[in-house]
A = this chain, B = another copy of it.
């Protein structure tokens, strides 16, 4: 399915205000706001706890054991981007380390999402450059085969199109298509606006059963209480 050997220099990014505003809502709320789709597989984990970011996707397709295109994608990064890296086959090699991170940061990247491995994680943690990956591995890569930059890619089971918004935190990584970003932001904000009042009630001991009026539908579904 992939077009190989091409670099698209002009992509249409989601507008920055929308892309930026999604970070604070978090991946779980954004995923709900989209109708429970858009989530990358949960094997994608952050290299350190606590990072929470959003940004516009710049994509790169790499071959197993070959990180040559990482240098090509670096040039296409603009401030506010998150690099999304897909591999043409399963691989856990360490495609990315502190030198590439230095370059990505200089270009304005906020994070890397890679369906493979990463290394130098101690230094990356000190640099506070967040990476969500499938593995951590010292295993290095070669620079022999070309892939592509800024084509739609499948990363950890999810289609990511250049310019989409990526939202990532300790719970996982969500991709929001550009066309849905504004609507998703509104829906996510609406969800969250609601949560403060609910949290207060629950903290006072009100049960979800009552707050959400679940007792009747549960009985209708046949739930029986036995003393």
B159 touches A37 (CB 8 A): no
The interface size bin for chain A is 35 or more
Q: How far is the CB of A37 from chain B (nearest CB, A)?
A: 5
A5 touches B224 (CB 8 A): yes
A7 touches B159 (CB 8 A): no
Within 53-84 of A, Cβ neighbours of B (below 8 Å) are at 63-65, 68, 70-72, 74-75
Q: A139-B89, A169-B122 are in contact. Are A102 and B39 (CB under 8 A)?
A: no
Q: How far is the CB of A202 from chain B (nearest CB, A)?
A: 4
Please tell me if A88 contacts chain B, counting CB pairs below 8 Å: yes
28 contacts between A and B (CB under 8 A): A1-B159, A2-B38, A7-B226, A26-B120, A26-B138, A28-B140, A39-B138, A42-B137, A52-B122, A63-B65, A64-B64, A70-B208, A71-B208, A89-B92, A99-B198, A99-B208, A102-B199, A105-B203, A106-B202, A106-B203, A106-B204, A106-B205, A119-B171, A121-B171, A122-B170, A122-B171, A137-B171, A152-B159
